[in-house]
Amino acid sequence: MAKIVIALGGNALGNTPAEQLELVTETAKPIVDLIEQGNQVVIAHGNGPQVGMINLGMATAAEEGAIKSDMPFPECGAMSQGYIGYHLQNAIGNELVHRKMNKEVVTVVTQVLVDENDAAFSNPTKPVGAFYDKATAEKISAEKGYTMVEDAGRGFRRVVPSPKPVDVIEKKAVEALIESGCVVVTVGGGGIPVVRKNGKLYGTPAVIDKDFASEKLAELIDADMLIILTAVEKVAVNYNKPDVKWLSSMTPAEAEKYIKEGQFAPGSMLPKVQAAVMFAQSRNGRSSLITSLDKALAAMKGETGTVITA
């Protein structure tokens, strides 16, 4: 039996509530396969489209005067954790009942500590929300203090920083739930970013990379394995090129070499490989696996996927 943190990518969830509810029915199956084999499973997930939808919907309604206030970004993140968590609880729960397995699935609204001195705060990079023309962008920037930047010729958008996760505030609760036999959904969307000032936590508008947050969580709860499920079965070098080579395994040293060569796209495969290496190096006996959702079980048997071990 192993303690496994699974990080679900965007392809496991989809873009609308209806699409998501349908997709998670499929997402649940390989997850329950792993549970059925006796593993303790903790689930983390992305939230890009979902938090975008919530943020944009609330901002639009506020601009129209239909609601009294805009929804702050950390609150949007909290809402996305509840929304996605509910769908995962529903789908995984149904699959467990279908297999006559007596387990409960629970979502923990999770805060993740970031350092207010993280260099990311002076260089916000993650675009969120609607596109505006220059004049409107300048007005919003003056009113709300948002950083607005031009996004690939499509207009101006708000950008927020992407700091590194330092700690998972609810880690003990997550551990207690795992120990009691629950399937836990946590650090959704990388967690709600909070900073600590004079002993108090404050939500801050930022986006923590879900692959890094999953890695941090996996270390903190002393997991044996970090499984990053995404749209590709294996990690590749020379990706999208004629001489593409799919990797069955990677050592941290090999990964570093490939990273230096620029083999992994920043913002997509790069953080996954970095998180996988970090976890594999964090303690003896820990390993990481990057594969696709439908290949998770086969990859656990060593038949496919990219395994990273120190």
| Catalytically annotated residues | 10-11, 126, 210, 272
If binding is defined by CB under 6 A, does position 9 make contact with ligand ADP?
yes
User: Which stretch in 114-122, 155-163, 199-207, 228-236 sits in contact with ligand ADP by CB under 6 A?
Assistant: 228-236
Q: Is 265 in the site for ligand ADP (CB under 6 A)?
A: yes
The one among 3, 10, 25, 115 contacting ligand ADP by CB under 6 A: 10
By the rule CB under 6 A, 257 interacts with ligand ADP: no
In this structure, are residues 144 and 132 in contact, taking their beta carbons and an 8 Å threshold? no
Which of 168, 169, 185, 2 has its CA nearest to residue 88? Answer: 185
One-letter amino acid identity for 231?
A: A
Q: Which backbone phi and psi does 22 adopt, to 5 degrees?
A: -75, -45
Is 57:69 a contact under the CB 8 Å cutoff? no
Interface with ligand ADP includes 85 (CB under 6 A)? no
Applying CB under 6 A, does 212 fall inside the site for ligand ADP? no
Between 29 and 196, name the residue whose CB sits nearer to ligand ADP. 29
* Cβ-based nearer residue to ligand ADP, 225 or 235: 235
Q: Is 252 in the site for ligand ADP (CB under 6 A)?
A: no
235 binds ligand ADP (CB under 6 A): yes
Q: Which of 21-29, 65-73, 161-169, 257-265 is the region at the interface with ligand ADP (rule: CB under 6 A)? A: 257-265
d(C-alpha 142, C-alpha 148), whole Å: 10
Q: Which is nearer to ligand ADP, 11 or 141 (CB)?
A: 11
Residue with tokens 């997709």: 23
Cβ proximity to ligand ADP: between 9 and 193 the closer is 9
261 contacts ligand ADP (rule: CB under 6 A): no
Q: Which one of 40, 107, 110, 263 is in contact with ligand ADP (CB under 6 A)?
A: 263
In the complex, minimum distance from the CB of residue 226 to ligand ADP, in angstroms, rounded to a whole number: 14
- Which of the residues 182 through 211 are near ligand ADP (CB under 6 A)? none
How many chain residues interact with ligand ADP (CB under 6 A)? 14
Q: Is 274 in the site for ligand ADP (CB under 6 A)?
A: no
Q: Which residues bind ligand ADP (CB under 6 A)?
A: 9-10, 46, 230-232, 235-236, 239, 263-265, 268-269
